Amino acid sequence: MTSIPIDQEELQAATHASLRAHPISEEAEVLVSTLAGMVDEHALATGARKNKRKGTSEKLDYAVGSFLADLLRVYGQEEPEAANPWVYRSMHAKSFTGAKVSYRTFSQLVEGLERLALLERIEGHKLSQEDRGRFAARFCATPALLAFCKERGIDPAKVYDHFEFEYDLPKEVLELRASKEVSYWSTSRPPGKPMPFERDGATKAIEDNVRELNEFFAQHKLRGGSHHGYVRIFHNGDDPRFFWNMGGRLYSQHFSESYQVMSAEKRLKMTISGEPVAEIDIRASYLTIFLSLRGIQLPEGDPYELPGLGPEHRSAVKSWMVATFGNSKPIVRWPPRMLQKSPELKQHRVSTITKAALTKYPALETLGEPLSLGTYGWAGLMWFESGVMISTMLELKRHQIPSLSVHDSLIVPAKSAEIARATLSESFLSRRGVTPLLKINRPPENMGGLEDQGQTKED
């Protein structure tokens, strides 16, 4: 019986154990070797194994290192006390075909760690009789294993200092999706269902750019976050006006576990090839682009400061902008999913914000009409935005500056932040004919925390 508290939501939100990692610090190498020896000796003592390993010891060492890294990685993404401790891995033999860790080795490792009280396992199961599928087995490190690691100099919160996570760049870097569902407001996954498409000259050019970015960043080491290369996703593929001009954002492979879903504060704790990072934000990106398509420059100052509304309304105004551009026309009520996440929005009347927004930005009255080049609504704005970001990243690459996209912001080594800001501004101006309002976010210990071009600290 498990001694770890069971939370069904945590179990279903478990992180995938890829079994693709190896130790890179001396402490981790010693820890892995020690654990492998303990597993093997316990198997011999209990009769689970008759003979001591000879030619397969390296396989066990790799299995121990890769699985231990997966078990500890969950603590490297969150504050240790708030981390979801569970990881999942199918125990079906076929799921190990072609993998670096064999089914036999992994099964013996799991059994050995369980006998040593270092691992908790929950077998694959269904949540209810109505479920058609079966959830893969779940695993988590016991308090004893976490203490064992700490005693040997491995802090789970600093797992990336001790283990290198291996990955393959995505083979398919372009994806097309159908129109999104009506309940549009979501950040957990890209909207719409995948669609097949024919490859031609246009798609090859798109793919070549993504592969160029992927291959360049693969030469650098990201610490404090996960990135396994990009896939560029286009939307509204079932729209008769579609011609690779809707959507187009870069999504980090294994999106739900990537740096793109981390908070801004945690992203600023990352390093690229050992260098601290900075993040350059485009303030009110969609609003800036929308106004540019109407020949209007977004004015200086806080874009979310509206006439007649005080600073206490700012957060609600920003939410109104997000929901309105996602809805492709001014909203008349708060989306249910937005209210679920931010119930305090009920205190703000949508009609009041709409009136103030249209007073400051009369062009919003035309929201929902064609934008340009056959584009409409949020998907068209996203396409213009992604074009600016990708052209900036390619230009930075030519200066040997690695960068990571967070859709409307760029992460770069902090020492290159000013170059990146200038490059992003120039790309925006050349493509959209306006100058964006940019700010540089830095970790608090690096150069004062945040530098604006005359803007306030809030996004």
Read off the pLDDT of residues 337-394 as tens digits, 9 standing for 90 and up. 899 889 999 999 999 999 999 999 999 999 888 887 777 788 999 999 999 999 999 9
Task: Identify the CA nearest to 377 among candidates 94, 180, 169, 99.
Answer: 180
Is pLDDT at 185 greater than 50 in this prediction?
no
What pLDDT is recorded for position 337?
Answer: 85
Higher pLDDT, 81 or 185: 81
- The residue type found at 188 is S
Phi, psi of 178, rounded to the nearest 5 degrees: -75, 175
Lowest mean pLDDT among 128-132, 167-171, 352-356: 128-132
DSSP 152: T
pLDDT tier, 131 (very low <50, low <70, confident <90, very high otherwise) = very low
145 pLDDT more than 70:
yes
Q: Which two tokens stand for residue 65?
A: 């290192």
Residue 88's SS3 state is strand
Tokens of 68: 């231990």
**The pTM is what?**
0.76
Average pLDDT, the chain: 87
Single-letter residue type at 418: E
**Which segment of 52-66, 215-229, 243-257 scores lowest on mean pLDDT?**
52-66
> Does 134 have pLDDT greater than 70?
no
Q: What is the mean pLDDT of the segment spanning 94-107?
A: 91
Give me the mean pLDDT over the 230-240 stretch. Answer: 93
- For the ranges 5-9, 87-91, 254-258, the lowest mean pLDDT is seen at 5-9
Lowest mean pLDDT among 114-128, 303-317, 442-456: 442-456
